[in-house]
Structure 1
Amino acid sequence: MGEFWPVPDVLTYLAGRWRVARSVRDLAGGDGGRFDGTTGFGPLAEGGLLHREAGTFVWQGVARPAERTLRFLPGPTPGTADVRFADGRPFHDLDLTSGRHVADHPCAADLYRGEFIVLDADHWRSVWRVGGPAKDLVLTTDYAREG
């Protein structure tokens, strides 16, 4: 098998709790930060998963609590997901049937391009490159399934 681990159903794969380690690099300014925490993917009443991430974000030596919530809804084809912000706005699609997926999210003048790679049954990674007039960032997140 290649370097990617195919996932026939992304929602089934993601369900449960994951440890999260994220590095943030500002390519323009050279600053770096780190987020460490957990993510839980729990069932939504209408189908899909509610993604709740919480932890500590350290930027320029200052630690702050950080959290976010996303909704992973069933996608247009079996095994895929339609990822939405907590308020229902579209974020990106997600298809891991090949073990790798690239998605774009335009945000004002910036473009977020995410690459998702499944490493094995208990590890996956996302790399977001954010570019635009005010941002030049790379966010690399490693997920490891908990117990």
Structure 2
Amino acid sequence: MGEFWPVPDVLVYLAGRWRVTRSVRDLASGAEGEFTGTTEFRTEETGGLLHHESGIFVWQGVPRPAERTLRFLPGPGGTADVRFADGRPFHDLDLTSGRHRAGHPCSADLYRGEFTVLDADHWRTVWQVRGPAKDLVLRTGYAREG
């Protein structure tokens, strides 16, 4: 896909508030959904960021509130160690080239993510989830607020 926007320090880049739009497609059934909301990355005492996402998820026409919390801990050389809210490891994140691929096993399913920084105020993720329980593609766009 063209050029990527290198990010020397992922925590500095992500800090702040972002508008979020996510499409979810179940490749097995063809069902589709969409999440719209906000993500805020707030500085914690650890030097990392608390990531809180909230909004509305519409699945097969049914809207419901949705939220999640992650922790982005400082890693070496401007990278981050991404963890679930309870501290379990999720994935690493290195955007020094403007692009990163990560994986995460979840039970028998495998999550494969690609992170791409488009410019100073826009980035995206694409997660492919495959396994016996899931066959999904999640595409998320982030646009900085303010």
Instruction: Show the counterpart of 1:62.
Output: 62
Counterpart code for 1:45 = E
3-state SS in 1 of match to 2:11? helix
What TM-score do the two structures reach when normalised by structure 1? 0.97
Structure 2 Cα separation of the partners of residues 134 and 55 of structure 1? 25
Following superposition, the deviation at residue 78 of structure 1 comes to 1.5
3-state SS in 2 of match to 1:13? helix
3-state SS in 2 of match to 1:12? helix
> Which consecutive aligned stretches of 4+ in structure 1 deviate over 4 angstroms post-superposition?
none
3-state SS in 1 of match to 2:29? coil
Name stretches of at least 5 consecutive residues in structure 2 with no aligned partner. Answer: none
Instruction: Show the counterpart of 2:108.
Output: 109
Following superposition, the deviation at residue 55 of structure 1 comes to 0.1
1:49 correspondence with 2:12:
no
Following superposition, the deviation at residue 65 of structure 1 comes to 0.2
Number of residue-to-residue matches in the alignment: 145
CA RMSD after TM alignment: 0.6
3-state SS in 2 of match to 1:11? helix
Following superposition, the deviation at residue 3 of structure 1 comes to 1.5
3-state SS in 1 of match to 2:52? strand
Structure 2 Cα separation of the partners of residues 14 and 47 of structure 1? 13
State the percentage of identical aligned residues: 81
Instruction: Show the counterpart of 1:92.
Output: 91
Structure 1 Cα separation of the partners of residues 134 and 145 of structure 2? 33
Counterpart code for 2:118 = L
Following superposition, the deviation at residue 120 of structure 1 comes to 0.2
Structure 2 Cα separation of the partners of residues 115 and 86 of structure 1? 21
Instruction: Show the counterpart of 2:125.
Output: 126
3-state SS in 2 of match to 1:78? helix
Q: What CA deviation, in whole Å up to 9, does each residue of 1:94-138 have, x standing for no partner?
A: 000000000000011000000000000000000000000121000
Structure 2 Cα separation of the partners of residues 122 and 129 of structure 1? 24
Following superposition, the deviation at residue 46 of structure 1 comes to 1.4
Counterpart code for 1:144 = A
Instruction: Show the counterpart of 2:39.
Output: 39
Name stretches of at least 5 consecutive residues in structure 1 with no aligned partner. Answer: none
Instruction: Show the counterpart of 1:83.
Output: 82
Structure 2 Cα separation of the partners of residues 13 and 3 of structure 1? 18
